[in-house]
């Protein structure tokens, strides 16, 4: 556990964010390893099937993960205020919530997958493989939610390193099982799904065993779990907008897939593969934003609002530099990055164009995400949700549809809609930040004299 209300703001955020960044990178390796093995050893159709499956997975789990982020904010603010009894109650309530949610998502994912594939016009010959992948994947939801819930708890308490260690072991296991099941046993796309589920189970169970042995305060026991309705309502109030925000993002991804699918299997494979590379490029912004949210939560909980502004400034400087370096890599080496996943020249060329267009604007995406991190850390999650809704459904999706209809632009119109939406979102987030209204949304509050209210 780490107190983020004392010490140099930039150094604290950097040291807290780096393990989260490494963790997110390794988390993405699940998807990347799957994509590489599918593209190299199974084929283009299977590559499109796995690629289209992930937005559906994201759509069905993002709502729950968003609510989990709300509990992270509560835990960080209570920890900053040193109200440890409420911290423990929040942890227990979160565990009960994620376990119940995992059952619902598993059932919904299995029942709705085929309908969603047809809704986004996935080519009919790809649907059987994609559905098989999803059914197996959703069978392991309890492990995914359990791991992410435990990681959220630790991050709220200032520990971003412990989840990383178990995730690294999980990714190594996933790579080994992918090669064993697909290349060795020839199980095809179901081998990829089984490898992912088993790896996630390892990460969660190993994490629980470690906490039970070395951290009595965080000890997990089904018999000792207690549900706190007051804290649950607080978690829902803060997490619900973030859950909706994540769902809007996932639905927007599916809407763009629907437009991309009009251009055929090759376009789908290129868009899916370039998106895997893109997801890596976005990891620093997401990790530093999450770290900044915890930093803001703890400092507001400790009645240190003066540190928030400096924390934002330092984080923007660090992440902008990182974003510029990533932009150079994706713009100038996009072809070689695509060749890691496939040798199909049409797929490589379409993916390269995606990386040139999107990669040129990572600084804009990064700045938008960092500013929203401050708002979420304060407990003001409604405005980031509203900004996401407007950026996606008022700007990005309509622009993608309009531009893609042009014979001169075509598929590139989908690509250009993404940075256009980022510019819009950054403008709205910046305006709201300077309004200062987000300061009144904290769970832990103080009066002008510094007394807890």
| 8 Å CB contact between 198 and 173 | yes
Per-residue pLDDT, averaged over 66-89, amounts to 80
- Residue bearing tokens 């001169």: 408
pLDDT-based confidence at 213, cuts 50/70/90? confident
Beta-bridge partners for 446: 452
pLDDT-based confidence at 376, cuts 50/70/90? confident
- Residue bearing tokens 């690629």: 51
Q: Is the pLDDT assigned to residue 362 strictly greater than 90? A: yes
Burial class (CB in 10 A: 0-12, 13-18, 19+), 353: middle
What pLDDT does 91 receive?
84
What pLDDT does 117 receive?
79
What pLDDT does 365 receive?
94
Per-residue pLDDT, averaged over 330-354, amounts to 89
Please state, for a pLDDT cut of 90, what percent of the chain lies above it: 23
At 416-429, the pLDDT tens digits run 999 999 999 999 99
At 217-248, the pLDDT tens digits run 777 777 778 888 888 888 888 888 877 877 77
Query: Which has the higher per-residue pLDDT, 349 or 91?
Result: 349
The three state secondary structure string of the chain is CCCCCCCCHHHHHHHHHHHHHHHHHHHHHHHHHHHHHHHHHCCHHHHHHHHHHHHHHHHHHHHHHHHHHHHHHHHHHHHHCCCHHHHHHHHHHHHHHHHHHHHHHHHHHHHHHHHHHHHCCCCHHHHHHHHHHHHHHHCCHHHHHHHHHHHHHHHHCCCCCHHHHHHHHHHHHHHHHHHHHHHHCCCCHHHHHHHHHHHHHHHHHHHHHHHHHHCHHHCCCHHHCCCCHHHHHHHHHHHHHHHHHHHHHHHHHHHHHHHHHHHCHHHHHHHHHHHHHHHHHCHHHHHHHHHHHHHHHHHHHCCCCHHHHHHHHHHHHHHHHHHHHHHHHHHHHHHHHHHCCCCCHHHHHHHHHHHHHHHCCHHHHHHHHHHHHHHHHCCCCHHHHHHHHHHHHHHHHHHHHHHHCCCCCCCHHHHHHHHHHHHHHHHHHHHHHHHCHHHHHCCCCECCCCCEC
What pLDDT does 422 receive?
95
pTM over 0.75: no
Per-residue pLDDT, averaged over 62-80, amounts to 79
| 8 Å CB contact between 269 and 47 | yes
- Residue bearing tokens 């299995």: 110
What pLDDT does 371 receive?
94
What pLDDT does 82 receive?
76
What pLDDT does 448 receive?
59
- Out of 83-97, 355-369, 409-423, which region has the weakest mean confidence (pLDDT)? 83-97
Q: Is the pLDDT assigned to residue 46 strictly greater than 80? A: no
What pLDDT does 356 receive?
95
What pLDDT does 446 receive?
64
At 104-145, the pLDDT tens digits run 888 888 888 788 778 767 777 888 888 888 888 888 888 988
């Amino acid at each position: 556990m780490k107190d983020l209300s004392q010490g140099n703001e930039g150094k604290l955020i950097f040291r807290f964010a780096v393990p989260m960044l490494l963790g997110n990178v390794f988390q993405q390796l699940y998807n990347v390893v799957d994509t590489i093995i599918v593209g190299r050893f199974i084929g283009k159709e299977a590559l499109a099937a796995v690629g289209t499956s992930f937005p559906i997975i994201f759509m069905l789990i993002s709502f729950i993960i968003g609510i989990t982020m709300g509990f992270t904010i509560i835990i960080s603010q209570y920890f900053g205020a040193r109200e440890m009894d409420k911290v423990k109650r929040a942890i227990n309530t979160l565990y009960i919530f994620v376990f119940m949610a995992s059952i619902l998502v598993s059932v919904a994912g299995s029942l709705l997958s085929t309908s969603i594939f047809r809704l986004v016009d996935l080519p009919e010959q790809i649907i059987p493989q994609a559905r098989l992948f999803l059914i197996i994947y959703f069978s392991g939801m309890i492990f995914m939610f359990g791991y992410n819930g435990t990681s959220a708890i630790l991050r709220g308490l200032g520990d971003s390193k412990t989840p990383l260690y178990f995730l690294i072991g999980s990714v190594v296991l996933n790579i080994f099982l992918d090669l064993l099941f697909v290349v060795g046993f020839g199980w095809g796309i179901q081998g990829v799904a089984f490898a992912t589920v088993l790896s996630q189970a390892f990460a969660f169970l190993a994490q629980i065993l470690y906490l039970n042995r070395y951290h009595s305060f965080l000890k997990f026991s089904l018999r000792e779990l207690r549900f706190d309705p007051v804290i649950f309502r607080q978690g829902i109030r803060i997490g619900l907008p973030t859950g909706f925000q994540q769902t809007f993002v996932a639905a927007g991804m599916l809407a763009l897939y629907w437009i991309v699918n009009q251009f055929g299997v090759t376009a789908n494979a290129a868009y899916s593969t370039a998106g895997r590379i893109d997801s890596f490029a976005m990891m620093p912004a997401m990790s530093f934003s999450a770290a900044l949210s915890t930093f803001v939560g703890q400092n507001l909980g400790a009645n240190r609002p003066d540190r928030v502004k400096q924390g934002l400034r330092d984080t923007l400087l660090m992440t902008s530099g990182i974003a510029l370096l990533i932009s150079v890599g994706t713009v100038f080496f996009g072809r070689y990055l695509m060749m890691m996943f496939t040798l199909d020249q049409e797929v490589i060329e379409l993916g390269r164009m995606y990386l040139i267009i999107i990669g040129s604007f990572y600084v804009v995406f990064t700045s938008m995400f960092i500013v929203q991190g401050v708002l979420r850390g304060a407990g003001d999650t409604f405005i980031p949700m509203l900004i996401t809704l407007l950026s996606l459904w008022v700007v990005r999706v309509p622009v993608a549809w309009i531009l893609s209809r042009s014979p001169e632009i075509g598929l590139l119109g989908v690509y250009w809609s993404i940075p256009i939406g980022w510019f819009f979102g950054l403008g709205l987030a910046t305006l709201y930040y300077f309004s200062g209204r987000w300061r009144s949304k904290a769970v832990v509050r103080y009066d002008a004299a510094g007394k807890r209210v």
